[in-house]
């Protein structure tokens, strides 16, 4: 059993009673290829989820458009009735086309249907946290998010949603969202090589809002990957472990949701929380993304976005 400290400590979502261990789990890879249909081994997917929770993970990120429906159904089979401290964070704002494409689903009816799909397939009466997913695949797009967020705020007042987050947004869109309802987390594309959100991360930390990065190894150039590989080799770790450890050391409001369909890789990911990066390694890694270092306020321009 890994204790809370070994999962990066805990982070309290603002204005809530929800404390999540900073090393969580992302369920997207539990579906079949291209996040479509069932996995080839449902029993193995169930085993991964049970192993994660047994190891102390109490933050699972999912969505009913993974599969679609498949991932949430597997979570229910594996873990329902859920542990009291388990926080399931889902997202709405997208749907799958028959050609396996990813489409926006931000109309009022789409959002209402999505929330009810998540409730039904997870076997819940309410959802702990729902993220509104907007923007593109990895980057936000400018524009108002008032209309879709207002729908989620209404569902929150109805008791179907406890708390709301946003995904793939800019600081301006976050400010707009906060005028409508309290926002407990932001989920954007960010890692040691993709540092556009440096300033955003720091600002959210000052306000006690969780930042949940996706694609911890996404967008690396070959040169950047070689630096990460060298750092991992020097520490006797994997590149993924180093990338996750860097994020945990970057800022105390960062919570992680690495995904895998393998128990072996799950254990490797969780063990990344125990990896302390020396300052020299951090400096080398910071250089590949142009950042100013973990825990240090950044003056870089802020532009946010699994």
User: Would you name the residues annotated as active-site residues?
Assistant: 66
For CA atoms 297, 214, 131, 84, the dihedral sign is: negative
Reference 304, options 228, 221, 194, 220; nearest CA is 194
Backbone angles phi, psi at 121, to 5 degrees: -75, -25
Looking up tokens 């960010």 gives 190
Rounded CA separation 105/133 (Å): 9
Rounded CA separation 189/195 (Å): 9
Question: Could you give the angle at which helices 146-157 and 171-178 cross, rounded to 10 degrees?
Answer: 40
Rounded CA separation 290/293 (Å): 9
| Cβ within 8 Å of residue 181, ≥6 positions away | 149, 152, 153, 156, 164
Rounded CA separation 185/131 (Å): 8
Rounded CA separation 177/156 (Å): 14
CB 148 within 8 A of CB 169: no
């Amino acid at each position: 059993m890994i204790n809370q400290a070994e999962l990066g400590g805990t982070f309290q979502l603002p204005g809530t009673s929800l404390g999540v261990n900073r090393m969580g789990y992302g369920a997207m890879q539990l579906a079949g290829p291209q996040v479509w249909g069932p996995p080839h081994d449902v029993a193995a997917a169930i085993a991964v989820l049970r192993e994660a929770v047994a190891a102390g993970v109490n933050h699972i990120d999912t969505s009913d458009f993974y599969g679609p429906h498949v991932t949430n159904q597997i979570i229910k089979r594996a873990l329902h009735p859920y542990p009291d401290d388990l926080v399931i964070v889902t997202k709405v704002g997208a749907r799958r086309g028959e050609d396996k494409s990813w489409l926006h689903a931000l109309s009022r009816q789409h959002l209402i249907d999505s929330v009810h799909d998540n409730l039904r397939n997870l076997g819940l009466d309410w959802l702990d946290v729902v993220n509104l997913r907007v923007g593109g695949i990895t980057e936000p797009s400018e524009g108002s998010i008032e209309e879709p967020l207002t729908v989620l705020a209404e569902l929150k007042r109805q008791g179907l949603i406890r708390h709301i987050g946003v995904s793939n947004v800019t600081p301006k869109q976050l400010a707009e969202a906060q005028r409508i309802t309290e926002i407990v987390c932001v989920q954007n594309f960010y890692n040691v090589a993709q540092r556009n959100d440096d300033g955003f991360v720091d600002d959210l930390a000052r306000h006690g809002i969780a930042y949940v990065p996706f694609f911890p190894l996404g967008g690396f150039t070959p040169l950047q990957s070689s630096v990460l590989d060298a750092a991992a080799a020097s520490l006797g770790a994997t590149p993924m472990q180093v990338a996750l450890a860097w994020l945990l050391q970057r800022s105390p409001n960062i919570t992680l949701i690495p995904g895998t369909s393998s128990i072996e890789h799950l254990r490797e990911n969780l063990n990344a929380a125990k990896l302390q990066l020396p300052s020299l390694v951090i400096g080398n890694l910071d250089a590949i993304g142009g950042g100013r270092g973990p825990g240090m306020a950044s003056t870089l321009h802020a532009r946010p976005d699994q």
